[in-house]
């Protein structure tokens, strides 16, 4: 804990709100009173990595932290799509074509710099006052607003079909699930994000984050 900030390494399978609730309970127990805790940007349940939590008076600065750039490492599975863009959705086979590594690199270069991105329907973005994912689960048609994002760097770490492993340094508001799907569209084979880890939020890195289980002990 530093300057009323707690850096947590979120485990897979837990919601960001679940992380906040557990940390709030632990801090409140230590303080003997209810402690205010907030997050500065969610991570999908299947994702792991750095979450910056703000404590007490620092919750007023949540917006400041949410605007920081992020760094992610992701695995993209080619040849299939997901209804949610991740492993938790309905998976559909699309193509058995094996793009070459040069084709993959060429596809990645198309997403460098300032680009337009449409967030996924299964996201926490509010549409007419309701979370988009709640509307999507009801089967309601959701028109997601396009936003401008910046991808500062996009590095191919490894490619063994059907998996592409990338590292992406991006602006706030970027959805890696959408990036994975868009890469699949460019390659013409379909794709979804099968693994995702956030390694940095601004200057805060995974090396500084506390594993949740250790923090709760």
Active site amino acids: 44
Task: Report how far residue 194's alpha carbon sits from residue 214's, in angstroms, rounded to the nearest whole number.
Answer: 26
Q: Do 28 and 34 form a contact (C-beta atoms < 8 A)?
A: yes
* Strand locations in the chain (E): 5-10, 37-39, 48-55, 70-78, 80-82, 91-93, 113-117, 126-127, 130-131, 147-160, 163-170, 191-201, 204-205, 210-211
What's the CA gap between 52 and 168, in Å, rounded?
Answer: 19
What does each C-alpha distance from 58 to 1, 38, 184, 215 come to in angstroms?
12, 9, 40, 19
Asked if 125 and 131 count as a contact pair (C-beta separation under 8 A), the reply is: yes
């Amino acid at each position: 804990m530093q300057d009323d900030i707690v850096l947590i390494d979120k485990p897979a399978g837990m919601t960001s709100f679940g992380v906040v609730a557990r940390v709030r309970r632990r801090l409140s127990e230590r303080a003997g009173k209810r402690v205010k805790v907030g997050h500065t940007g969610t991570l999908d349940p299947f994702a792991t990595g750095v979450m910056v939590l703000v404590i007490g008076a620092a919750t007023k600065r949540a917006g400041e932290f949410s605007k920081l750039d992020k760094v992610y490492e992701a695995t993209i599975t080619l040849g299939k799509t997901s209804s949610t863009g991740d492993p938790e959705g309905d998976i559909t086979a699309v193509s058995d074509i094996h793009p070459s590594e040069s084709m993959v690199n060429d596809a990645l270069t198309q997403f460098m710099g300032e680009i337009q991105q449409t967030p996924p329907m299964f996201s926490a973005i509010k549409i007419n006052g309701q979370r988009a994912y709640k509307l999507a689960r009801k089967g309601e048609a959701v028109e997601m607003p396009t936003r401008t994002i910046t991808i500062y760097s996009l590095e191919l770490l490894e490619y063994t079909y059907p998996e592409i492993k990338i590292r992406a340094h991006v602006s706030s508001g970027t959805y890696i699930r959408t990036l994975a799907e868009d890469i699949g569209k460019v390659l013409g084979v379909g794709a979804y994000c099968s693994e995702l880890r956030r390694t940095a939020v601004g200057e805060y890195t995974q090396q500084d984050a506390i594993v949740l289980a250790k923090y709760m002990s």
